Amino acid sequence: PSEHIILSISDLQSAAAAKLPTGIRDFYNSGSTDQITVLDNSNAYKKYKLRPRVLRDVSNVSTSASVLGKTIDFPLCVSPAGIQAMAHPLGELATSRACAKRNVHMGISSFSNYSVEEICEASRAIAPIGHVMQVYSMKDRAKQERIIKRAEQVGCVAIFLTADSPVLGVRYNEHRNDFRTPAGLAFPMLEKTSEMIRADTHDASFVGFNSDYHSWAREIPWLRSITKMQVWIKGVLTAEDVLLAREYGCDGVVVSNHGGRQLDGTPATIDALPECVEAAAGQIRVHIDGGIRSGQDIFKALALGAECCWVGRPAIWSLAYDGEAGVRTMLDILYTDFRRCMQLTGCSSIADISKSSLGIARKDGPLARL
Ligand code: FNR
């Protein structure tokens, strides 16, 4: 680690790229097909400019936020991302510990290489932060139910039902690099070994698990009937689906395009956020992930109405760079960056961040007010 000076998320990305074999690096970084959405996710933040208010007392700033029933250090958590043991041998255990030390939630992927029991145990002694279990609509309902029951048993606070993946997006790199899950990894939530998963090429294993006959009516009442945890829908991009999430009594939605890994050509999540927030009308919570790489990005998403942000790849890059310490560095960078952004825009608490904190840059002419 010492040969790299790590000041930003892109420093972590470069440090990870220097360590990871090409096939694994590309698997983590790629979006689907033409890579349009994965790039849009980050670029779309740039059109928003900050409208700082000056000469305000920012000596006593609080970044803390109430998220999923807990007070967390700042409104940024780690998205569920699979196969973290390819980045670092301790994989999700390291991510879990780093999240607990920074007092933020971690999303646990169904494709994790450690069990939800081990992942929650790793953070329990550090902080009573509840993690979130991610599930897909699975063909094997009994297995899906076992995942959910196990998560609830060890103190997870919510289920994220990832709704954008009835089939897998096409990621060319996996074909070009003939990417296969490395041998010897465990998939304890899916009750599979890596040998079982790597026997399948590319999306074949996924097709085997996920249900493409899922529906709001089939999933949500069933989830409610088997768990008392909060039920969130991850992968929503439209007002129409936020209205359905409200109708079905979900606790919240994560505005997400799966980091550009599913349907290429969907909008950047920050561009889908306003219509989702409007449709939520304060009746259902709205979080966002995709392309968030700085404290300013977090600030902008909050100004546009998100309650909390999540990051996927930054955690993977940090794990690859330096395991738990790397993820801790990533969270600290985003924390100090966000806190400084609040002070420099004249905000003392999350409640001070509003639409009036932003404007939209126009090609010719003055900043447009929101
Ligand atoms: C993911 N993501 C994901 N989402 C999910 O619901 N279940 C999963 O198993 C995974 N696995 C996964 C693996 C990898 C390598 C990546 C990069 C992403 C999507 C993830 O939760 C999140 O939506 C995006 O990563 C957010 O975008 P950024 O922050 O990576 O740009």
Residue 281 has pLDDT above 90, yes or no: yes
Q: What percent of the chain has pLDDT over 90?
A: 91
Angle between helix 22-29 and 9-19 (nearest 10): 150
State the pLDDT confidence band at 100, using cuts at 50, 70 and 90.
very high
Q: pLDDT, tens digit, for every residue of 345-364?
A: 999 999 999 999 999 999 89
Phi, psi torsion values for 108, nearest 5 degrees: -100, 120
Per-residue pLDDT at 103: 97
For residue 254, the CA-to-ligand 1 centroid distance in Å is 12
Using alpha carbons, select from 287, 213, 214, 283 the residue that is nearest to residue 249: 283
Is the minimum distance from the CB of 41 to ligand 1 under 6 angstroms?
A: yes
Q: From the CB of residue 124, how many other CB atoms can be counted at a distance below 10 Å?
A: 14
Tell me which of 83, 109, 160, 161 to substitute to probe ligand 1's pocket, judged by most ligand atoms within 8 Å of the beta carbon. 109
ipTM above 0.90, yes or no: yes
Residue entry with tokens 């470069």: 14
Residue 180 has pLDDT above 70, yes or no: yes
pTM reported for the whole predicted model:
0.97
Q: pLDDT, tens digit, for every residue of 284-341?
A: 999 999 999 999 999 999 999 999 999 999 999 999 999 999 999 999 999 999 999 9
Q: What is the residue with the minimal CA distance to atom 15 of ligand 1? A: 28
Residue 207 has pLDDT above 80, yes or no: no
Residue 204 has pLDDT above 80, yes or no: no
Is the minimum distance from the CB of 82 to ligand 1 under 6 angstroms?
A: yes
Per-residue pLDDT at 195: 84
Cβ atoms of 76 and 334 within 8 Å: the answer is yes
For residue 1, the CA-to-ligand 1 centroid distance in Å is 25
Mean pLDDT over 52-64 rounds to: 98
Per-residue pLDDT at 303: 98
Using alpha carbons, select from 15, 154, 159, 181 the residue that is nearest to residue 82: 181
193 DSSP assignment = E
Q: From the CB of residue 166, how many other CB atoms can be counted at a distance below 10 Å?
A: 14
Is the minimum distance from the CB of 28 to ligand 1 under 6 angstroms?
A: yes
For residue 315, the CA-to-ligand 1 centroid distance in Å is 10
Per-residue pLDDT at 210: 86
Residue 161 has pLDDT above 60, yes or no: yes
